[in-house]
């Protein structure tokens, strides 16, 4: 793994071309995924290692991407914390967490007991993947997990989570600490099971201003990545730590203190100024607007080139700025992969 294109780009080493994978690359835009989902519901797919493995491999086979990401979901650890969740297709929690009592009742599970199916899926995928394609393990960042726990699902205004932060900070911190411990165990155990990179999705951190980001999100991300670093060192491995900073605003420079080695960005900001704020030590991942894949192949090629030009040849992993849209024609995803490959190798040659 230490020599894959993806690993070298994450380490900011020279590469012959820019690696690419696609956020939510296993999912509803793929007919082979929909065929499988017609027979098994979403949680069954997540809970059955053989199915999770098969779905993880689907986009690798069809698109020839440079990394696989485990098929699972950031909310998979919730039942082991004591919170039931259903998907249709977005998540819905029967009993959101709102009070100090609710927080105190949350369990902090060890991933080996709570989510053994995730670890087994990783072992299966590792056996099935070619050596050149690394497997990314992932979890939700503590603040984003807390957002779903408090809101009870997706939300328009996020007044429940923000209300909790400002009306009862000690309870908010107790909740974030429990999410952080759960996620640290999950991500560290994924590395032990064979995941070759560890990614945290902080989809909702963009709700926070800089001071609140530093208070409520950053310290908990740092703790998770510290645990990943410890386990990687124990195993003698170099494991890239990727932090998806959703809708990052004025707190982008604070990402330097998360312990991440790669920061994933959405399309709301250009990569060149983002790099200036992140400093020379971090690699970047992103950041094409997923809706571009609804345009023509010519537009996709042109926009891919623009992202590559912004990012430069070193320390860039190409990706979308958020998950691929379900209505995306699979052929357009392939056009993107081929365009990134072609454009970035021409640049190096």
203 near ligand 1CP, rule: CB under 6 A: yes
68 binding ligand 1CP? (CB under 6 A)? no
Q: Coil, strand, or helix at residue 295? A: coil
> Is position 91 an interface residue for ligand 1CP (rule: CB under 6 A)?
yes
Contact between 53 and 128 (Cβ < 8 Å): yes
- Identify the residue among 73, 110, 120, 342 touching ligand 1CP (CB under 6 A): 73
Nearer to ligand 1CP, 88 or 349 (CB): 88
Kindly determine how many residues on this chain lie close enough to bind ligand 1CP according to the rule CB under 6 A.
23
The yes-or-no answer on residue 37 being catalytic is yes
- Judged by beta carbon, residue 125 or residue 343, the one nearer ligand 1CP is 125
90 counts as binding ligand 1CP under rule CB under 6 A: yes
Instruction: Please report whether residue 20 would count as binding ligand 1CP according to CB under 6 A.
Output: no
Does 190 sit near ligand 1CP (CB under 6 A)? Answer: no
Residue number with the smallest Cβ distance to ligand 1CP: 154
Cross-strand partners of 286: 318
Catalytic, 275? Answer no
Alpha-carbon torsion, ordered 48, 51, 53, 56, to 10 deg: -120
Give CA separation, 154 vs 30, 73, 167, 205, 349, in Å: 23, 14, 21, 14, 46
Q: Please tell me the distance from the alpha carbon of residue 242 to that of residue 201, in angstroms, as a whole number.
A: 8
Q: Is there a catalytic annotation at residue 29? A: no
11, 12, 73, 347: the catalytic one is: 73
Smallest distance, ligand 1CP to C-beta of residue 23, A: 6
Residue found under tokens 């929690």: 93
Is residue 23 involved in binding ligand 1CP (CB under 6 A)?
yes
Residue 26 engages ligand 1CP in binding (rule: CB under 6 A):
yes
Q: How many residues does the chain have?
A: 349
Q: Can 24 be counted among the known catalytic residues?
A: yes
Contact between residue 286 and residue 320 where contact means Cβ atoms under 8 Å apart: yes
d(CA 323, CA 313): 24
* Residue 74 makes contact with ligand 1CP by CB under 6 A: yes
Based on the residue annotation, tell me whether 95 is a catalytic residue of this protein.
Answer: no
Residues between 248 and 307 that touch ligand 1CP (CB under 6 A): none
| Beta carbon of residue 100, minimum distance to ligand 1CP (angstroms, whole number) | 25
- From candidates 15, 51, 119, 138, binder to ligand 1CP by CB under 6 A: 138
DSSP code of residue 280: T
Q: 56 in helix, strand or coil?
A: helix
245 binds ligand 1CP (CB under 6 A): no
C-beta closer to ligand 1CP: residue 44 or 132: 44
Q: Shortest gap between Cβ of 25 and ligand 1CP (angstroms)?
A: 5
Residue 158 CB partners (closer than 8 Å, separation 6+):
147, 151, 204, 207
Q: For residue 42, state whether it binds ligand 1CP (rule: CB under 6 A).
A: yes
- Cβ neighbour number for residue 74 with a 10 Å cutoff: 19
DSSP readout, 219-274? HHHHHHHHHHHHHHHHHT----EEEEETT--TTGGGGGGTT-SEEE--TTS-HHHH
Q: Which of the residues are catalytic?
A: 24, 28, 37, 73, 148
Binding site for ligand 1CP (CB under 6 A): 23-28, 37, 42, 69, 71, 73-75, 87, 89-91, 138, 154, 201, 203, 322-323
């Amino acid at each position: 793994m230490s020599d894959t294109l993806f690993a070298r780009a994450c380490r900011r080493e020279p590469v012959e071309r820019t690696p690419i994978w696609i956020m939510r690359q296993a999912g509803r835009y793929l007919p082979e995924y929909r065929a499988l989902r017609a027979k098994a519901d979403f949680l069954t797919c997540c809970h059955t290692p053989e199915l999770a493995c098969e779905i993880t491999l689907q986009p690798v086979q069809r698109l020839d991407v440079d990394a696989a990401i485990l098929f699972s979901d950031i909310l998979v650890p919730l039942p082991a914390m004591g919170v039931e969740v259903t998907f249709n297709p977005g998540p819905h929690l029967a009993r959101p967490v709102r009070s100090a009592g609710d927080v105190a009742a949350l369990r902090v599970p060890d991933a080996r007991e709570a989510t053994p199916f995730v670890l087994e899926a990783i072992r299966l995928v590792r056996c099935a993947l070619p050596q050149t394609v690394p497997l990314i393990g992932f979890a939700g960042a503590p603040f984003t997990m807390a957002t779903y726990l408090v809101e009870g699902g997706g939300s328009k205004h996020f007044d429940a989570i923000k209300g909790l932060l400002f009306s009862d900070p000690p309870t908010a911190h107790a909740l974030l600490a429990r999410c952080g411990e759960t996620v640290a165990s999950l991500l560290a155990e994924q590395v032990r099971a064979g995941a070759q990179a560890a990614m945290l999705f902080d989809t909702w951190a963009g709700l926070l201003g800089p001071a609140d980001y530093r208070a409520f999100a950053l310290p908990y991300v740092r703790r998770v990545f510290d645990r990943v670093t410890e386990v990687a060192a124990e195993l003698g491995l170099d494991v890239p730590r990727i932090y998806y900073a959703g809708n990052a605003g004025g707190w982008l420079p604070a990402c330097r203190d998360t312990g991440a080695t790669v920061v994933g960005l959405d399309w709301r900001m250009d990569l060149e100024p983002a790099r200036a704020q992140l400093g020379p030590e971090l690699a970047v991942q992103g950041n094409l607007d997923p809706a571009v894949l609804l345009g023509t192949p010519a537009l996709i090629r042109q926009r891919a080139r623009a992202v590559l030009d912004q990012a430069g040849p070193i320390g860039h992993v190409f990706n979308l700025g958020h998950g691929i849209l379900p209505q995306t024609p699979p052929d357009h995803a392939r056009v993107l992969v081929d365009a990134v490959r072609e454009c970035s190798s021409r640049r190096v040659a």
